[in-house]
Structure formats: structure tokens, C-alpha cells
A and B are shown apart, each in its own frame.
Chain A
Amino acid sequence: MKIALAGNPNCGKTTMFNALTGRNERVGNWSGVTVDKKEASIKHSFAPEGENLILVDLPGAYSLSTYSTEESIAKDFILQEKPDVIINIVDATNLNRSLFLTTQLLELNIPVVVALNKIDLAEKKGNRIDVTALSEALKVPVVCTVSTRSSDNGLPELIKAVLAAEEFGQEERVPFVRNDRQRYAFINELVRDAERKKLSSEQQTLQDKVDRIVAHKWLGIPIFAAVIYLVFSISQAWLGLFLADFFVGWIDKSYEAVASLLGEDVNPVLAALLLDGIIGGVGAVIGFLPLIMVLFFCLALLEDCGYMARVAVVMDRFFKKVGLSGKSIIPVIIGTGCAIPGIMSTRTIKNIRQRRTTAMLTPYMPCGAKLSIIALFAGVFFADNAWVGTSMYFLGIILVFVGALIIRKITGDYSKSYFIMELPEYRIPSVKRAVISVFGRAKAFIIKAGTIILVCNAVVHLLQTFDWKLQVVAESAPETSILASIAMPLAVLFVPLGFGMWQFAAAAVTGFIAKENVVGTLAVTFAITNFFDMEELALVEGGAEVGTILGISSVAALAYLVFNLFTPPCFAAIGAMNSEMESRKWLVGAIAFQLGVGYTLAFLVYQFGTLFTTGSVGEGFGAGLLIVSAIVATFVILMRRGVRKHQIRTSVQAVKS
């Protein structure tokens, strides 16, 4: 039996889906978090024995007429796949609007059960809803639910009503509609009878006062910067580091335990593969797990409280200036967790150029995997300053703006679109929900570390252990290994960026498989097992050591960081870009663009940084300048051509009119 969850955006469909199925799908206190349908079996504690109830979570929709793509996913599923029962989630705090979709669903000849969700919030506001009157007028069962609660939440009653509805079907239809105006007339009358409100929603509330500050034209930006800085301080300087210290201790212990288990008799090549390649490499990556978990925890709290929608309001006018809209902020913010769901959520953008541009620029936001690279370089070269991470986030945002501006010029497409977004109410974020979501992500991270990253590290280790004649490389000549000889030609290209060493080149390449690999490969190629100082919480002393081993200046380290963050993302994210852009030309252009921008940026950071710190430009300045000039020239030519195209188009329109 198939049950569909349908309702307005942000009415709590995914929260209910998670509660009923035990899954851990992404939720957030804003519209448009779910962009794809998701299916799972309802937990056995809710379902009668022997019955397999499949629940389908659909993206939110305000109506069955389609405005956005994710709304059409909901519509198409309901019309084409005909679920046995629809659970229509109605937001009790916004009864009137929600019932518009409800009445449309009632006309489909599919049994409907209404879940009156967020009833606790409605009661807190002093609103009283007459459930019996509602049920009688709509002629469907109405069940009050609070899916954020773990007990007394109405969910068992809801499933019972669903099963009954399936058995008996829907007896009669509500005969109210000839057109949508009549629909609203019916709803307005129904709500007038069934709902008693203490306060009109038109009145100013405390929430509006808070909005005036956090979404203020100018104050909004420093507030956002402060919030991100705080998040980084907590995750990378205070709590995260404290936890990481414990964690790395365990990894070191497991390293020693395996070493003693292997004993002296094991083949040294095999032992090195296991210890330095696998445990060392994977351990180096896993070591950053606590930092990443704390960051995700903070971000989950931020998303849950409703602040992110305000960020979209603050940023809208900047996005407008570069030809995007506030809608593009959602993918960018989701991209701070992982670029793939971020890119997928560009589906909510209707304008095709804006959608493709956003999909192309979303990977500029440092994702969770890139965070391990940031944490490594911040720790080793910059004494764990939270400004490193914060500035990388803001650099990411700036690149999104600049990138959008360039792409608009290249395409010559100056179309505009309206921006409208619901502002969810603020609420106190749930620590429990944040913890559940963080552990879900931690699990995914560990699985990734134990599979892709483990294999990559093992391969990297083997390639650097042997030369082309399959002889073990002498310790004094590591540059004769297969890995070194493959990476060396690439490393030459990186000389003008300050890190022309084969180890860094190899790490940048494995980074395309998964960005965590950058850390793993550096650990393996430089034979470092511990990026954290065990003796002290501060990384300073141990950091200096690691810095000497890596053998590059802080400026070059920053350039390398910038290079890894702002060149193309991992292959999985490129795949997501491909499917959302639906154009080979755009994909190739996007990758070339990202490569060009990453290279140019790293060059500027290294050469200017070196000029400021030492008084003269760095190595390979001339050659690098040549390459960067070529990149910039290409952009300029393409932009000129795009602008011309735009001018021709507008003049053609002028002639026509």
C-alpha cells in the first residue's frame, strides 16, 4: 500500500516522514528543502502485522497548478502513480492557505486523511481549531499531530485513520468548486467557522522586530559574518578541537595496536601499506570528523531556527545585481554541507540560465569534505585561526557573485525573475534533531572514509612505494616512484602557485575523487600520521613541525588551500552538475571556468602574498603570469562576445516593436 505525504512547503512533511519511517532525511525550517520524492517503509510499530506500508515524501506545493519544478514533482506523482491514500499535512498555524491544496486533493478521487500538524504551535498562539467542524465540512478524517514530539504525537492515530480510509474509500466529494475563486470562498467561510484566533496575524510581533535587525540592509551582513565566525570558532578552535584531541588519541592507539599485532616478521612493504597507507591515510581524514560534526551541528541549529531564510533576504539584492535572485541562496547554503544536494536544489529555480549558473557556482561554497582541508591548513599554518575558515566562506560567496556576473556577460542573457519566499517563524532549534542529523552525516562520512578514501589511500601508497620496474623505491629517492613520475609534470604547472611538488599535485588529483583525499594523500605521501599535537590542545607546536615537513611557506599553503577549494568539485558533484544543467556545453564550460578561476586565484594569493611577506615575487612568476593572462583574456573575449549578442538581441527587439 502506497501512502503519499502532500502539503505546503515547510509544513513538516519530511519531519513526519522521518518520524514514521525512522529515516534521517534532511529537514530545515524553510521552504524547498525537499526537492525530490523519497520512499520508505513505515516503521512496524505503526503498521499492523504483515502489512507493508510505503510512505512517499513529496516536495512541498502550495497548489496543484505548477509554478516551480519541485511542485510539479508532487503533482505528477499524485496524478500518475495514484497513491492508495494521501496524507495531506495541513499547517495548523496557516489553516486558510493550506486548505487550498487540501480542496484540490479532495477532487482527485483518492482517499485523503488530513493531518493537522504543528497543532502545538497554533495553540501556543492562542488559536483554537474546531477539528470536528473541519472534518465534517471537508468530509475527511482530520487527525491532530505534532510530529516533532516523540510520544503523544498523534501519529499512531493518523496511521489508523489512513488504514480505515483505504478500506472504506471516500464516500462523497465536496461539491463546492466550479473555479478557484469559489474554492477560496468555501475555505474562507469554513475557516471563519472552525478557527478562533486570539491575535490577528497582521499585527507586528517580536519576530518582526528581530527581522528588522537581522535582515537589516547593512546590519544584516556583519551579523551574518559574526554568525559564521562564531560557528567556525566553536567547531575549529574550541569544542571541535577539544573533541578531535581525544579522537586522534584513539586513532594513534589503534595504529600502535595494529603495529604490535603485526610484529616483526611481516613483510615490511605490506606492514607499511597497512599502517602508513591505510590507517595513516584514513586516520588522518577521520581525525577531522569531530571538527566536521561540530560544524554540522552548528549549521543544523542555524537552519532549524529559521535564520537562513533571513540571510536569503539580506543577500537578495546582491544576487539581483549579478543576475540571480534570492532563490539561488538556498543551494549555496545547502552546499555548505555537501555540494551535491545543493546542486540538486537548484531545481527550485525556474529561469534556466539562473539555474545553470547556480549549479555551476554552488561548489564554490566549502563543503564538509573541504572543511577537512581548511582545518588542516588552518591548524598547521595559521594556529587554528577561525578567520581562515570564515574568510574561505566569504571568499566562496564573493566568487559566487563574481562568477554569476561573468556568466551573465558570457551568455548575454539578462533576463530577470521575481523573488518571493516565505519567512518561516523563528523557533528554538531542537538539539535532538541536530544531533540525529549530525550522526547521520557522521555515519556517511565514516562509510566514505572506509571505502573510497581507504582504497584511494592504499592505491596512492602502492604507487609511491614502487617504481615502474615494480621495485620498492629507495628511501633516499622517493621521486623515482610511479606516483611521483605521474604527478611531476602536473607539479610543474603548480610552480607559479607556490606548491610545485609532486606530493601536492598528487593530492590535488585524488581530491577530485573525494576532497577528503587531499588530506589523506598528503598524510600518506609525507608519511605523517597525526595532524594534531597530542601534548597540547593548541596545534601550534605540533603544527610547526608538520609545516616544516610539508616544506612550503604559509603563503603557498594558503594558495594551495584556495586552489583545492575553488577548482572543480569532486566527480560526484560534477555528476550532479551534469544532471541539473542538462547541457554538455554548459558542463564543459563550467569545469573550464572553475579550473581557470581556481588557478588564477591561487596564483594571485601566492604571488601577491609572497610580494608582501618577502618583498619580491615568488618562483615562476613570469610563466604563471602568462598562463593567467591567457585565462583572463579568454574570459574577456567570451564576455565581449556575449555582451554583443545581448546588444544585437535588444536591437532586434527594438526594431520589432
Chain B
Amino acid sequence: MMSLAQANLNKPYIVDSVHTDQEDIREFLFALGCYPGERITLISKLASNYIVNIKDARYSIDEDLAKAIIICA
């Protein structure tokens, strides 16, 4: 178990949980397809952002959010 910020590039992981007290961001991530059980892949780290693939789209998320997304291999 680790956060997305510690993930290896190009390796698909499974989302375990979203660790935040902001319910709305959890719901938002859910709508994008980032929820427990779904796949997530770290594509690259750019500037201070993490580029991830969720379902068929690329998103840029900041470090705080990357740390909040807990994943397992």
C-alpha cells in the first residue's frame, strides 16, 4: 500500500482509497473513474505535477492529490 506519489512509471496499479477529508474531490474522482478497484497508471512526472491515466484519459494532478490517492499493485 502506498500513495500515487510513490508509484513507478508505466505500471498499472489498483486504486485502494482516496485519503482526504474533502468529500467533493472524492466524488469528482469517482466520476472520472478513479475509485477503489479501478486501474490507474502514472505516465510521467512533469513540473510539480503527476500525469496519470485513468480509463482512457490523461490528467494532470498536483502532489497533494497524488499523495491522497492510495494504491496497491
| Number of A positions contacting B (CB below 8 A) | 44
Count: A-B pairs, CB below 8 Å: 128
B-side contacts of A202, CB under 8 Å: 10, 12, 39, 41, 53
Which residue from A97, A100, A208 sits with its C-beta under 8 Å from B43? A208
* A418 within 8 A of partner (CB): yes
Distance in Å from the Cβ of B55 to the closest Cβ of chain A? Answer: 5
Is A62's CB under 8 angstroms from B32's CB?
Answer: yes
Residues of B8-58 at the interface with A, using a CB-CB cut-off of 8 Å, are 10, 12, 20, 22, 24-25, 27-33, 35, 38-39, 41, 43-44, 46-49, 51, 53-58
Which residue from B28, B46, B65 sits with its C-beta under 8 Å from A211? B46
A94 to B29 CA separation, bound complex (whole angstroms): 15
* A313 within 8 A of partner (CB): yes
Most buried by B among A68, A320, A420: A420
B-side contacts of A97, CB under 8 Å: 32-33, 54-57
Which residue from A212, A313, A416 sits with its C-beta under 8 Å from B49? A313
Most buried by A among B24, B27, B48, B56: B56
A81 to B29 CA separation, bound complex (whole angstroms): 28
Is B22's CB under 8 angstroms from A314's CB?
Answer: no
A450 to B57 CA separation, bound complex (whole angstroms): 46
Is A418's CB under 8 angstroms from B64's CB?
Answer: yes
A-side contacts of B3, CB under 8 Å: none
* A215 within 8 A of partner (CB): yes
Proximity string of chain A (190-204) to chain B, C-beta cutoff 8 Å, 1 when within and 0 when not: 000000000001101
Is B56's CB under 8 angstroms from A201's CB?
Answer: yes
Known A96-B55, A202-B53, A420-B65: A65·B47 in contact at CB below 8 Å: no
Find the B residue at minimum CB distance from A217. Answer: B47
B-side contacts of A425, CB under 8 Å: 58
A320 to B30 CA separation, bound complex (whole angstroms): 24
B-side contacts of A65, CB under 8 Å: 27, 31
Known A67-B28, A180-B30, A326-B62: A216·B57 in contact at CB below 8 Å: no
B-side contacts of A387, CB under 8 Å: none
B-side contacts of A317, CB under 8 Å: 47-49
Proximity string of chain A (407-435) to chain B, C-beta cutoff 8 Å, 1 when within and 0 when not: 00000000010111111010000000000
Chain B residues with CB under 8 Å of chain A are 10, 12, 20, 22, 24-25, 27-33, 35, 38-39, 41, 43-44, 46-49, 51, 53-62, 64-65, 68
A-B CB contact pairs (8 Å), 11 listed = A68-B28, A96-B55, A202-B10, A212-B44, A215-B46, A313-B49, A316-B60, A419-B65, A420-B25, A421-B59, A422-B57
Ranked nearest first, the 9 interchain pairs of A and B with the lowest CB-CB distance are: A63-B31, A317-B48, A67-B28, A62-B31, A419-B62, A423-B58, A215-B46, A418-B65, A94-B56
